Copies of this chain bind each other. A is one copy, B any other.
Amino acid sequence: MNPEVLLSRIRVVLCRPSHPGNIGAAARAMKTMGLSSLYLVSPKHFPDPEADTRATGAVDVLARATVTSSLKEALAGTAFAVALSARQRDIGPVLGAPRETVARLIAEAAGGDVALVFGNETVGLTNDEILHCQAAVTIPTNPEFSSLNLGSAVQVLCYECRMAAFLEKPPVVEQGVTPFASPVATHDEIEGLYGHLETIMTDSGFYNPEQPGRLFPKLRRLFGRVRLEKDEINILRGILASTQVKTSHGRKG
């Protein structure tokens, strides 16, 4: 696939950025590498003249940026999201190295929109935000000074995206048999499954929303590892729905 198209499908999502200068630096970093789709989740100051100044010739990226109030909204319509994190979380995708993780992101972009998700300058991403992503990446830094600027982190990963998108890929060997697969489920479809699970489990008494514990983080960890397909979402929701129908009308047997 055309590398420019792949790059155009990568959303850069900044969660709760504090400094408008970093938003501008991110826009410039993106544009130099051929990315253009910027999402801002609850930015502290935006629009802001400082963002425009740091963006220099990339103010068009700022002008077209989408502002949302949650990461979930920013990921709507994506099929794959990678969270940047400086540290491994207790529950969450295993941290990968930039090159391998970005190679996977680019491969997923062949199928639709994907996202690179960055946290706040001081506190990073929340555990819940990371659990909305299917993969996590860390940029290796000096253990004695790991304070990578937000704009710099965006620059490094966008650079890796450009390098990966333009990489010559060896042709897949023709095997004669196409293994079964259905299209990958979107973020919205996966969230729909979680919503359905929550209803069923609450109804059955297995889950108490007032004492959520780590049940949903563990379910997100499980299904986050697998890259669910549309067909699989349908099967799982079909199973869930069948137990609902049964209980509404009483036991059949």
- By a beta-carbon cutoff of 8 Å, the part of chain A in contact with chain B is 25, 28-29, 31-34, 56-58, 87-92, 94, 97, 99, 139-143, 145-149, 151-152, 155-156, 159, 162-163, 166, 168-171, 173-175, 177-180, 197, 200-201, 203-206, 215, 218-219, 221-222, 225-228, 231-232, 235, 238-239, 242-243, 245-248, 250-253
Contact = CB atoms under 8 A, between A and B. Distances in A.
A89 to B, nearest CB: 7
A34 to B, nearest CB: 4
Nearest to A223: B226
Nearest to A248: B251
A97 B168 CA distance: 9
A38 B251 CA distance: 47
A179 B88 contact: yes
A175 B250 contact: no
Copies in the complex: 2
A243 B200 contact: yes
A162 B98 CA distance: 12
Nearest to A178: B88
B152 A99 contact: no
Contacts of A173: 140-141, 143, 146
20 contacts: A29-B152, A32-B141, A32-B146, A57-B147, A90-B179, A91-B179, A99-B168, A140-B170, A143-B174, A149-B155, A204-B239, A205-B245, A206-B238, A206-B242, A222-B228, A222-B232, A225-B225, A225-B227, A243-B247, A247-B247
A36 to B, nearest CB: 9
B239 A218 contact: no
A206 to B, nearest CB: 4
